[in-house]
Amino acid sequence: MQVSGQKIVVLGTGGTIAGKAATAGDNIGYAAAQVGVEQLLHAVPGLKAAAGGDLLAEQIAQLDSKDMEFSVWSALAKRCASALADPGVRGLVITHGTDTLEETAWFLRSVLDARKPVVLTCAMRPATALTPDGPQNLLDAVAVATTVGAQGVVVVAAGVVHGAQRVQKVHPYRVDAFNSGDAGPLGWVEEGAVRLAQNWPSALSGQAQPAIEKIVNCARWPRVEIVMSYAGATGALVNSLVRDGVQGIVVAATGNGAIHHALESALLRAQAAGVKVVRSTRCPQGQVLPKPGDALPDSRGLSPVKARISLMLELLP
Ligand code: SIN
């Protein structure tokens, strides 16, 4: 069921959903982030009616999400927090590139007290394509944002609703490019109606306001890098990062958090020198299962890129 009467705020950040190619048949040689969010909304028949009230478009950024910056995250979090606090706003939709969408989703999940829906959506085909997927994704995102009881930071793409914690981009070309792994999707959007498979994500009470203040006031984000364990890995990268003043390192370990002995020695030295080290797995599904006596803490189920965001937030001054 959907409800009407309050505003849906759509925040544009760029991505392929706003991309343009020279020809309609070109799905890879396009420039992302060319079309304004207002224009994107106008191009979707029935979107205003689906919103059931006002649709307010705001351009927060216009970038290819591979180039996502902390300054954009900060502006986005600040605007989301003010919109969530506005009683006239029913929910938020954010248009975003697919490449780092899971990172922005996890960042927002970590800093917003989202008792209303914050729905990120995207496209794998540019707006100029023969069959662009952006318009349907926008309609589906608005359907989620207007669903009674919807809350939390979620991702909607190709008719599937994903939670921010588990969602990952798993394909570089397919329109159905996202997956929630073992957890499965939160639900689906079918003909404008949401069919839930799991509960909506719970809101973050109490921690949100201080987190937003820290982010907005932070002059320089903590430096946290990701290194990977693989055959023949060495500690050279870690040693050089430590010399360069890194504050945190996430290791994308093999299997259940196993690390090549040479890399592990360097990480243990880094940890002893005061660098925060977190162990995630490079496996696309499952999570590191901690064992008694583990010398390096695990990422509590977060993928390497999401563990990096959590560590940066933890290290914010
Ligand atoms: C981007 O991430 O901004 C470009 C790629 C995409 O949206 O699919």
Q: What pLDDT digit, counting tens, does each position of 65-83 carry?
A: 999 999 999 999 999 999 9
- 16 labelled catalytic: yes
Distance CA 222, CA 284 (A): 26
Query: Over 60: is that where the pLDDT of 146 sits?
Result: yes
Residue whose C-alpha is closest to residue 164's, from 152, 175, 176: 152
Binned at pLDDT 50, 70 and 90, residue 228 comes out as: very high
Mean pLDDT (whole number) for 109-135? 97
At residue 209, the pLDDT reads: 78
Query: Over 60: is that where the pLDDT of 261 sits?
Result: yes
Q: Is the CB of 32 under 6 A from ligand 1?
A: yes
At residue 53, the pLDDT reads: 82
The 3-state secondary structure of the chain reads CECCCCEEEEEEEECHHHCECCCCCCCCCCECCCCCHHHHHHCCCCHHHHHCCCEEEEEEEEECHHHCCHHHHHHHHHHHHHHHHCCCEEEEEEECCCCCHHHHHHHHHHHCCCCCEEEEECCCCCCCCCCCCHHHHHHHHHHHHCECCCCEEEEEECCEEEECCCCEECCCCCCCCEECHHHCCCEEEECCEEEECCCCCCCCCCCHHHHHHHHHHCCCCCCEEEEECCCCCCCHHHHHHHHCCCCEEEEEEECCCECCHHHHHHHHHHHHCCCEEEEEECCCCCCCCCCCCCCCCECCCCCHHHHHHHHHHHHCC
| Residue from 16, 100, 128, 281 carrying the catalytic annotation | 16
Binned at pLDDT 50, 70 and 90, residue 206 comes out as: low
Instruction: Output the six-digit token pair for 282.
Output: 């490079």
Domains defined for the chain, CATH in brackets: 7-196 (3.40.50.1170), 222-315 (3.40.50.40)
More confident residue, 212 or 229: 229
For 228, the enclosing helix (H) or strand (E) is: strand 224-228
Mean pLDDT (whole number) for 217-242? 97
Mean pLDDT (whole number) for 11-27? 97
Q: Is the CB of 15 under 6 A from ligand 1?
A: yes
Percent of the chain with pLDDT over 70: 98
Pocket test for ligand 1, best of 122, 125, 178 (most atoms within 8 A of CB): 122
At residue 207, the pLDDT reads: 72
Average pLDDT taken over every residue of the chain? 96
CB atoms under 10 Å from CB of 315, counted, come to 14
Q: What pLDDT digit, counting tens, does each position of 152-203 carry?
A: 999 999 999 999 999 999 999 999 999 999 999 999 999 999 999 999 998 8
Q: Is the CB of 65 under 6 A from ligand 1?
A: yes
Query: Over 50: is that where the pLDDT of 1 sits?
Result: no
At residue 4, the pLDDT reads: 47
At residue 2, the pLDDT reads: 47
Q: Is the CB of 250 under 6 A from ligand 1?
A: no
* Ligand 1 centre distance from Cα of residue 9 (Å): 21
Residue whose C-alpha is closest to residue 225's, from 202, 250, 206: 250
* Ligand 1 centre distance from Cα of residue 154 (Å): 18
